[in-house]
Structure 1
């Protein structure tokens, strides 16, 4: 099968990109011909398809004024993206197109170009952007959004995105523009939700239930033995992923800053305005490649997350258990579909509970070993082969239908 995989970043920026890159390799390993469409970036993994990538645009400190202006325009529509996807479609002629995150850096302008050729489009949902302008389904104070609350007055005047009137107005207008065009509604044939939790939110946000299927993410073949997973050469707890204030980074620093018996190691791409204090027992490793990341997970006592966001899936939890590591976090989002409380980790409701769970796992080696063994067993539910069989079954079913845009 000829499959076109699309995501706006082609390097391990976070959980979405990890899944995207691993999926490309999984499909190739089964003999499929896979093309990639993304955005140019100096951090990108090598790709033979890079000549088709859209030019870099930026929205952050350090990006040039031109990059920011181009990025602003691309939020709404991109002639460049449509032209480049047209060229790739002509040259590659895929049987199916699998979309991941395309908003802002690529834009949904590519969808109509794909659809007019009758190619089925599947979208794996990695966040709530298609139903919530700020991706997260939360207000600045952390409370969950309801679809009925997402009005101009509530969202823009409430500074629902980045605590900024300007940014909130931009993403609100972007969302309304795409809804007016019905660009997702008309062109996406099937949505893949990684969890039942996310599916419920998507349905509440107006996505037809019959256009959503649940398929949890996977991990590549586990390269680690049980012995390796419990052989700890040094004492540290690991925190990794996208390092942002809304992910609870400041809270995990607060929890660990005065701990005497255990260090906190942190890894991931950091928000431009986030400062990680230099402390003896807190070490920031920066952004790590897959092999390095797995090594730090494997050698940790356990993994912790202080995010209270309604996670669509929670790849950090899956990365933890596939490496045989207990996972400690708030019981938010879809974590409970991966982590079983008091079996392969702890899920708490309050900061005090989280601190208590961290204390327990730091001190009780026997419990850590038990949780580690359970984690390795439970990770079998997310094997790549199972995911591959279900995904290709979805692709084959869609290939047999007529998706030409006759309107």
Structure 2
């Protein structure tokens, strides 16, 4: 049986990319593939025998000494620890193919060279824009940014694109310069999987050859989601509470439209949004972090889930999960979100950052008859079941692996 090595910074369901990493590996195991894993040690990791190969934890929010910070900075640029531990893993587990997910800033892109040197075909799923934009979001405090497209990476430091920090931005700039010089991404990755057409088009705009990409949309197993088609009286945002998610814009629109809004999640601007709520005095409820059946119930009972993003989203799993639970989406027209919806059938879109247009849309949706909302939920469920399913994802993945000489 073929052996697949799945590689990701975290070995637990921390965010959408980590969910894809674990679900992809589980799907391949169901097909008889033998799984191996390479990641970073972390207190929340799922138990695994592979942890003996994992690198030491790096968490930038923790308190570290100056020496520790310098050591971490060097690992961000080029991690010899990750290379050495990966070499040891490959000696014990001669993989037929390696599938990378998010590896930078922790494992570091240096492992791509290690894999290449051992002759293992290397596929990477682009969960974000890192292989083009050093700061991975094409975003700074002024909004969407593509200033590095022409190659001047000093913009990363000039605009403090990483955490609004001069030091962090300088480290990431150096990392990007080093790996561009080494041609790590374009030269050593065999294929890049893109879950959205928008990302593929954006990478090509930034100078990548089109034949480097394979468009494979994410999937959900709809059988694990139970819809009810009984829309409630509130709108829901769930996910990370971060500036680029547009939650402040949503809160202002919710107040203006006079609708009930629930926000589930945690993140760096929670306190800021609580302050905004104290000013707005809207019908807005912060629920904290939710997962599993409790989160599913919130999604299922919502009138609609809102994605008010203000950056180039890729292909949010939150869209697919909402659809699987029979709940339509209100999404910003930015990044890969619009291509996941059927306008007026499975959801509705509005101009990103446009609070007035969002206010109008929320007002219209809250006044729609329940039968119309239930039909939108059924359309959403049918859409995800037909177009974002396991079978299509698996077929495309196996065809990709076969094109690299790895067959089941």
TM, length-normalised to structure 2: 0.90
**Of residues 281, 286, 289 in structure 1, which corresponds to 2:288?**
286
Measured in 2, the distance between the counterparts of 1:88 and 1:153 equals: 37
Measured in 2, the distance between the counterparts of 1:94 and 1:295 equals: 40
Identify if the C-alpha distance between structure 1 residues 212 and 59 changes in structure 2 by more than 3 Å, giving closer, same or farther: same
Give the superposition deviation at 1:143: 3.2
Measured in 2, the distance between the counterparts of 1:150 and 1:171 equals: 14
Identify if the C-alpha distance between structure 1 residues 39 and 344 changes in structure 2 by more than 3 Å, giving closer, same or farther: same
Identify if the C-alpha distance between structure 1 residues 291 and 45 changes in structure 2 by more than 3 Å, giving closer, same or farther: farther
* Kept in 1: contact 2:250–2:358 (CA 8 A): no
| 1:160 corresponds to 2:161 | yes
Name 1:393's counterpart in structure 2.
Answer: 399
Name 1:270's counterpart in structure 2.
Answer: 267
Q: Which runs of 5+ in 1 are unaligned?
A: 402-407
2:382 is paired with a residue of what secondary structure?
A: helix
2:379 is paired with a residue of what secondary structure?
A: helix
Between 382-391 and 154-163, report the one with greater CA deviation: 154-163
Name 2:363's counterpart in structure 1.
Answer: 359
- Count residues in correspondence: 396
Give the superposition deviation at 1:150: 4.9
Identify if the C-alpha distance between structure 1 residues 247 and 150 changes in structure 2 by more than 3 Å, giving closer, same or farther: farther
2:228 is paired with a residue of what secondary structure?
A: helix
Matches within 5 A, 1:228-239: 228-232=227-231, 235-239=233-237
Q: Which runs of 5+ in 2 are unaligned?
A: none
Measured in 2, the distance between the counterparts of 1:261 and 1:209 equals: 44
Measured in 2, the distance between the counterparts of 1:286 and 1:273 equals: 9
| Alignment deviations for residues 298-342 of structure 1 (CA, whole Å, 9 cap, x no partner) | 222210111121112222222221221111121000112111221
2:334 is paired with a residue of what secondary structure?
A: coil
1:36 is paired with a residue of what secondary structure?
A: strand
Identify if the C-alpha distance between structure 1 residues 292 and 399 changes in structure 2 by more than 3 Å, giving closer, same or farther: farther
Identify if the C-alpha distance between structure 1 residues 27 and 314 changes in structure 2 by more than 3 Å, giving closer, same or farther: same
| Alignment deviations for residues 76-106 of structure 1 (CA, whole Å, 9 cap, x no partner) | 1111111111121111211100011100111
Between 213-222 and 92-101, report the one with greater CA deviation: 213-222
Identify if the C-alpha distance between structure 1 residues 293 and 176 changes in structure 2 by more than 3 Å, giving closer, same or farther: same
Name 2:99's counterpart in structure 1.
Answer: 98
Measured in 1, the distance between the counterparts of 2:109 and 2:253 equals: 41
* Kept in 2: contact 1:57–1:70 (CA 8 A): no
1:45 is paired with a residue of what secondary structure?
A: coil
Identify if the C-alpha distance between structure 1 residues 274 and 190 changes in structure 2 by more than 3 Å, giving closer, same or farther: farther
Give the superposition deviation at 1:386: 0.9
| Alignment deviations for residues 342-378 of structure 1 (CA, whole Å, 9 cap, x no partner) | 1111111122111222222223223311210110111
Name 1:383's counterpart in structure 2.
Answer: 389
Measured in 2, the distance between the counterparts of 1:330 and 1:240 equals: 15
Measured in 2, the distance between the counterparts of 1:84 and 1:184 equals: 21
Measured in 2, the distance between the counterparts of 1:399 and 1:289 equals: 39
RMSD of aligned C-alpha atoms?
2.3
Identify if the C-alpha distance between structure 1 residues 222 and 273 changes in structure 2 by more than 3 Å, giving closer, same or farther: same
Name 2:246's counterpart in structure 1.
Answer: 248
Name 2:219's counterpart in structure 1.
Answer: 218
* Kept in 2: contact 1:193–1:214 (CA 8 A): yes
Identify if the C-alpha distance between structure 1 residues 348 and 359 changes in structure 2 by more than 3 Å, giving closer, same or farther: same
Measured in 1, the distance between the counterparts of 2:400 and 2:254 equals: 45
* Kept in 2: contact 1:224–1:323 (CA 8 A): yes
Give the superposition deviation at 1:400: 5.3
Identify if the C-alpha distance between structure 1 residues 49 and 272 changes in structure 2 by more than 3 Å, giving closer, same or farther: farther
1:201 is paired with a residue of what secondary structure?
A: helix
Measured in 2, the distance between the counterparts of 1:204 and 1:97 equals: 27
* Kept in 1: contact 2:253–2:358 (CA 8 A): no
Measured in 2, the distance between the counterparts of 1:204 and 1:362 equals: 39
Between 252-261 and 198-207, report the one with greater CA deviation: 252-261
Measured in 2, the distance between the counterparts of 1:221 and 1:28 equals: 19
Measured in 1, the distance between the counterparts of 2:383 and 2:270 equals: 37
Identify if the C-alpha distance between structure 1 residues 224 and 79 changes in structure 2 by more than 3 Å, giving closer, same or farther: closer
Name 2:64's counterpart in structure 1.
Answer: 64
Measured in 2, the distance between the counterparts of 1:400 and 1:24 equals: 16
Name 2:39's counterpart in structure 1.
Answer: 38
| Alignment deviations for residues 374-402 of structure 1 (CA, whole Å, 9 cap, x no partner) | 1011112000111011101211221259x
Identify if the C-alpha distance between structure 1 residues 273 and 359 changes in structure 2 by more than 3 Å, giving closer, same or farther: closer
| Alignment deviations for residues 153-180 of structure 1 (CA, whole Å, 9 cap, x no partner) | 4332233333333332221111111111
